[in-house]
């Protein structure tokens, strides 16, 4: 038995060392260490030995198996390292890395911020989880107003709401800042809307506020006309239509001429030749008084618009859901 162990050891080590390929090393390992290999055969012959010979032969056989297992693993590892090294072909041309890009909504938001910063406005932000006071009461919204209904607003069990507009930011800024105040407030807002091509329960707004001595409706109109022409082009026509908002008095809806039909009327503008952009107006004196401003001394105006609507106009997008689908084919256009 001892002589057989010596012969098998020499043969196994020689074949493992002389293996030229990974297949040769695997074959040698299976030959000696497989379930039906030579080492297994020697274990089968143990029953033919006498009781006195078995302990010494068993120990020698176990030592040999351990030695050959280590030698086999070393041989296989050697070929594995060679395979990894050969898997990188340095003669192949390099692969172009794929760079990320800013989302269209981010691009539009930054563009809007840049325009207003050039006009002297600063950016203000506030919480998306708001109290009823800041979201409605401080904005002069009466208890009967439809925007307070649960069909429009997302109420939370703890008495908070998901803000329906970024106007609460204006209240918070006025509470902590004395006039003059000149800010814009971009951010996410939430409504209880059913998603479709033009509506989403979560979307983005930017609202502006200017409060100082002697601020007039003419200042509001001049600022918004300059803004929309900087945003869409100097040929953009802007009109103001009388409207009602609890926060402002007088109030006006702001429209720009339809870019898709040049004002002739189409499906996008519903045949009117105009696209509604958002609301505006002079800040109601009740709001100014509520934040501690003297409404006899100070006046101000405010406006708001949807960022998704601007993005859809600028990039020719006909479905708001496209902005949220995360389709890489769409997003790659903006790299």
pLDDT of residue 87: 60
| Cα–Cα distance for residue pair 190/328, rounded to 1 Å | 25
- 171 and 118 in a common domain: yes
- Domain total in the chain: 2
Residue 251 lies in a domain: yes
| Cα–Cα distance for residue pair 284/300, rounded to 1 Å | 8
- 72 and 153 in a common domain: no
The two beta strands, 299-306 and 160-162, are: unpaired
Residue 157 lies in a domain: yes
Residue 95 lies in a domain: no
- 117 and 30 in a common domain: no
Contacts of 19 (CB under 8 A, 6+ apart): 25, 27, 28, 75, 79
pLDDT of residue 108: 93
Residue 12: domain span: 2-86
Out of 86, 114, 146, pick the residue that ends a domain: 86
CB of 118 within 8 A of CB of 160? no
- 312 and 187 in a common domain: yes
pTM: 0.69
- 236 and 108 in a common domain: yes
- 242 and 164 in a common domain: yes
- 119 and 257 in a common domain: yes
pLDDT of residue 126: 93
Q: Which tokens in the block code for residue 163? A: 């803000």
Residue 96 lies in a domain: no
- 119 and 56 in a common domain: no
Q: How far from each other are the two terminal CA atoms of the chain, in whole angstroms?
A: 74
DSSP line for 278-332:
EEEEEEPHHHHHHTT--TTT-EEEEEEEEHHHHHHHHHT---GGGGTS--HHHHG
Contacts of 161 (CB under 8 A, 6+ apart): 129, 130, 131, 132, 135, 153, 154, 155
pLDDT of residue 83: 54
**CATH code where residue 305 lies:** 3.30.930.10
| Cα–Cα distance for residue pair 212/180, rounded to 1 Å | 5
Out of 58, 86, 114, pick the residue that ends a domain: 86
| Cα–Cα distance for residue pair 299/292, rounded to 1 Å | 13
pLDDT of residue 334: 73
Residue 94 lies in a domain: no
Beta partners for residue 248, in sequence order:
245, 283
CB of 166 within 8 A of CB of 135? no
* pLDDT one digit per residue (tens) for the chain, 335 residues: 667 777 878 888 888 888 888 788 888 888 888 877 787 777 777 777 777 777 777 788 788 788 888 888 888 887 766 555 556 667 778 777 777 778 889 999 999 999 999 999 999 999 999 999 999 999 999 999 988 898 889 999 888 999 999 999 999 999 999 999 999 999 999 998 887 777 788 999 999 999 999 999 999 999 999 999 999 999 889 999 999 999 999 999 999 988 777 777 777 777 888 888 999 999 999 999 999 999 999 999 999 999 998 988 888 887 888 888 878 778 777 76
Phi, psi dihedral angles at 77 (to 5 degrees): -65, -35
- 203 and 68 in a common domain: no
pLDDT tens by residue, 251-277: 999 999 887 777 777 777 778 888 889
- 181 and 126 in a common domain: yes
- 153 and 77 in a common domain: no
């Amino acid at each position: 038995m001892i002589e057989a162990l010596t012969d098998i050891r020499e043969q196994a080590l020689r074949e493992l060392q002389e293996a030229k390929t990974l297949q040769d090393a695997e074959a040698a390992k299976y030959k000696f260490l497989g379930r039906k290999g030579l080492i297994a055969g020697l274990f089968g012959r143990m029953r033919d030995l006498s009781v006195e010979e078995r302990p010494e032969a068993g120990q020698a056989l176990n030592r040999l198996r351990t030695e050959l297992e280590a030698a086999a693993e070393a041989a296989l590892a050697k070929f594995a390292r060679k395979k990894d090294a050969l898997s990188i072909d340095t003669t192949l041309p390099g692969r172009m890395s794929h760079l990320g890009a800013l989302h269209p909504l981010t691009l539009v938001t930054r563009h809007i911020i840049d325009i207003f910063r050039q006009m002297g406005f600063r950016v203000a932000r506030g919480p998306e989880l708001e109290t009823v006071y800041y979201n409605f009461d401080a904005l002069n919204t009466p208890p009967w107003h439809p925007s307070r209904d649960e069909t429009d607003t997302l109420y939370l069990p703890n008495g908070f709401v998901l803000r329906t507009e970024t106007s609460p930011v204006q209240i918070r800024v006025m509470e902590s800042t004395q006039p003059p105040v000149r800010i814009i407030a971009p951010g996410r807002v939430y409504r209880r809307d059913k998603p479709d091509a033009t509506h989403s329960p979560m979307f983005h707004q930017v609202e502006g506020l200017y409060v100082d001595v002697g601020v007039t409706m003419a200042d509001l109109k001049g600022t918004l006309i300059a803004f929309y022409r900087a945003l869409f082009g100097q040929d953009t026509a802007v009109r103001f239509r009388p409207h009602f908002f609890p926060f402002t008095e007088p109030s006006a809806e702001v429209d720009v001429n339809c870019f898709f039909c040049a004002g002739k009327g189409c499906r996008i503008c519903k045949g009117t030749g105009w696209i509604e952009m958002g609301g505006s107006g002079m800040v109601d004196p009740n709001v100014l008084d509520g934040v501690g401003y003297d409404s006899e001394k100070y006046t101000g105006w405010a406006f708001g618009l949807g960022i998704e609507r601007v993005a859809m106009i600028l990039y020719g997008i006909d479905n708001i859901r496209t902005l949220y689908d995360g389709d890489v084919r769409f997003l790659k256009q903006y790299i």
